Structure 1
C-alpha cells in the first residue's frame, strides 16, 4: 500500500510548456523577451523553449496567447526587397561577380531570387553572412 502513492506520482504525465506570444507581434518584427511567454500546455508543433524564438523574426503576425511554431519564425532579414546586392558564382577556380537587385527579402541562409542587373536574368541564390548572394552549385 505504501508503494501505491509513489506509483501515482511516477505515472503522472510530465507537464510541458509551450512558447506563446505575450502580446500581438506584427510580421517582420524581431522577437524580444517582452514579446514571448511560457504557457503550461503542450501543443504539438509549437516551440518549447524561449531561446528558440528570441532574436528571430516573425514571418507572420503572432497573436497574444497563441502558440508560436517554428514555421512562424526565421532569421532576421539582412536583405530587403529591391535592395542592390552583390552576386557571386564560384566553381573551382572560376569566380564571377555581378550586381543584382533582390526580388524578395531574407536572412542569412535563406534562398531568394535576384535579378542580375547586367543581363536582366533572374537567378536564385543563398544569402551569405556578408550580405552577398551566392548562386550556382553549392550555394
Structure 2
C-alpha cells in the first residue's frame, strides 16, 4: 500500500492539504493580474471579504458554487478554477481547448459538444496516421 501506485483514496487524501493553498494562490494571482482589490472581488463575487481572504490564504477550501461566483467576479472560466481546485481533471489540447472553455457566450453544453467533436477528430486523425497525436498539444496546420 505504501507504493507509488495510484490508490484513489490515498491520492486524494495526499493532495487535499495542498489544494486549498493552490486554489487560494491562483485566485490571488488572477485578482492581482485583473487589478481588483480583495474588497472589490468580494463584492463582485458575492462572497464575504473575510471568507475570500481565508480562501486566498489557503485556510478554507471553497465549494464549486463559491468558485463559480469567484470566477464570475474575476471574469475567468469557472472550469479554470475547478481544475486548479482539483474538482475537474486537466484537459489537454492547448489554446483551442482553452479558448472554448473561456468563451463566455457559449453555454456549458455547447462548450462540451465542441470539445467532444474536436477530440473525436483528433482520435480519428491519430488512428489514420498510426501515431499518438493525442499526446501532442499542437496538431498539424492546414
TM-score, normalised with respect to structure 1: 0.23
Larger Rg: 1
Task: Please report the TM-score for the alignment, with normalisation by the length of structure 2.
Answer: 0.23
| Structure with the larger strand share | 1
Higher helix fraction (1 or 2): 2
